[in-house]
Amino acid sequence: MKQIKIAFIYHEDNVYLSGKHYDNAYYNFFMKELRNNEEIKIKDFPTKEIFDASVLKDKFDIILLWENSDYGMPSEIKGIQELDIPVIAKGGDIAGAKESIKFHEKWKINYYFHFFHEDFFHEQYPSNFKYKTIIFGLEPRLYEKLTPYEKRISNKILNSGNVGNMKITSRIINRIRNPKWNSLECYKLRTKCNNLSYVDYTHTLQHDYVGDRYPFLLQKYCAAIAASTYNPLVKYLEIQASGCLTFMEITKKNKGEFLGYEDEKTIISINENNYIEKFEKYLSDPQNTKWKKIADAGREYTLKNFTNKKAVESLIDLMKNLL
C-alpha cells in the first residue's frame, strides 16, 4: 500500500500545536492521532514568517495547512501557486472569515474542513469553497478511567468555558464594535445559566483542569451544560465522553441536530425557552436511574461516532478523492 505523503505547514510559534495550550483538541488531532494512521506519512514544516513551498515539488501528494488565516501560519507561502499539489486547510475561526477569504486564491486552497456544519461554513464563505464536516478533537484515552456516576456531585450542574460580559457598558460597546461575534452572543445561553444558584461555573482558565486535564473537572459532576449559540463545539463531545448527563443546546440556529443526539435518550436538549424547566426537572430527582441511563447512552454514542481516529479516516478519504 502506497502511503499518502503529506506536507503539514504551520508557524513554529503556533501554540495550539505545542501541547501546552489550555485547549489540546487541535494538538491531539494534528500532532498525535494523525500520525497513527499507516495510510499516510506526515512531514512537519514549522515555519517562520515566510515559507518557500518550492521545496515540496515532486515530494508530496497533499499539502495540509493548519488553517486558512494568518493565525498560526506564515504570513507568506512562496511558490505554492506553481505546485501541482492539492491543498487542504482547516477552516479558521468563522468570526474572521472576511479576512480569511483572501487566502483561498493566495494559497490555492482546494478544500476546507472543520467540525462546523456545512451550512454554517457557507454562511460566511462563498458557496464555491469546497468544504467537508469532519468532527475531530475527541481523544478517547482521556476518558477511560472515570469517577463512577454515583460518586459525583448530583445537586449542582457544571457550567464551564467562556461566557459573555453582562455589564451594560460592555454590551453597548459590543453592539457597536462586534455585534455578532462577541462572547455574549456566541455563548448567550451558557451565560444565562450562570444566574442560577444551582449552577457551578468554572472559567476557561481559572482552574487547574486545562488541556488534557479537563476531563477531571467534568467527572466531578453528574450533569453538565454544553451550550453554544451558532454551532456545536468540541466541548459537546468532551462532556458526553466524560459520562455526564449533558444538557445540550440544540437549536435551528446552531444546527446541532446534525450530531445525531436524541433528546431524553442520549442528551437533554435545551434552548433559551426551556433550560430552567429541564434543569429543575433533573434536580427534583437527581438520583433517578434514568439520568444515568441517558448519560451512559450519550457516552457510548459519542465514543462510537466522534473520535479522532474516525476523524483522521474521514480526512484521509477526502485526500484520496483529491488525488
**DSSP secondary structure letters along 139-182:** -GGGGSS---GGGSB-SSEEEES------HHHHHHHHHH-TTTS
19 and 166 housed in the same domain: no
199-202 β-sheet, strand order: 199-202, 157-160, 223-226, 245-249, 268-270
Q: Answer yes or no: are the C-beta atoms of 212 and 170 closer than 8 Å.
A: no
Tens digits of pLDDT across the chain (323 residues): 689 999 999 999 999 999 999 899 999 999 999 999 999 999 999 999 999 999 999 999 999 999 999 999 999 999 999 999 999 999 999 999 999 999 999 999 999 999 999 999 999 999 999 999 999 999 999 999 999 999 999 999 999 998 988 787 877 777 778 778 888 899 999 999 999 999 999 987 666 888 899 999 999 999 999 999 999 999 999 999 999 999 999 999 999 999 999 999 999 999 999 999 999 999 999 999 999 999 999 999 999 999 999 999 999 999 999 99
CATH number at residue 230: 3.40.50.2000
Can you give the residue range of the structural domain that contains 67?
A: 4-138+307-322
- The rounded distance, in Å, linking the Cα atoms of 186 and 70 is 22
169 and 121 housed in the same domain: no
Q: How many domains does the chain have?
A: 2
pTM of the complete model beyond 0.85: yes
C-alpha cell belonging to residue 197: 444558584
127 and 149 housed in the same domain: no
